[in-house]
Copies of this chain bind each other. A is one copy, B any other.
Amino acid sequence: MPTTTSASGSRPGGRSARVRAQVLEATGAQLVEHGYDGLTVDAVAERAGVHRTTVYRRWRDIGGLLADLLDAAGDDGWEPADTGTLEGDLTALNEEILAGVAADPPLTTALIAASFRSAQAARALRAFWEDRYARCAVVAVRAEERGELPPGTRSRELLVAATAPVYHELVLLGTPPDPHLPATAARTAALAARAGAFTGP
Give, as a whole number of angstroms, the nearest-CB distance from A119 to chain B: 10
A160 contacts across to B, CB distance below 8 A = 165, 168-169, 173
**CB–CB B174/A188 < 8 A:** no
Taking chain A's interface residues, is the majority helix, strand, or loop, or is none over half, making it mixed? helix
**CB–CB B195/A195 < 8 A:** yes
Residue of B nearest to A197 (CB): B188
Give, as a whole number of angstroms, the nearest-CB distance from A146 to chain B: 20
Selected from B113, B117, B173, the residue in CB contact (under 8 A) with A129 is B173
Interface residues of A in 100-132 (CB under 8 A from B): 109, 112-113, 116-117, 122, 126, 129-130
| A113-B116, A188-B189, A192-B192 known, 4 other contacts, Cβ within 8 Å | A160-B165, A160-B168, A161-B188, A191-B191
What is the interface of chain A, defined by CB distance below 8 A to chain B?
A: 109, 112-113, 116-117, 122, 126, 129-130, 157, 160-161, 163-165, 167-169, 171-174, 184-185, 187-189, 191-192, 195, 197-198
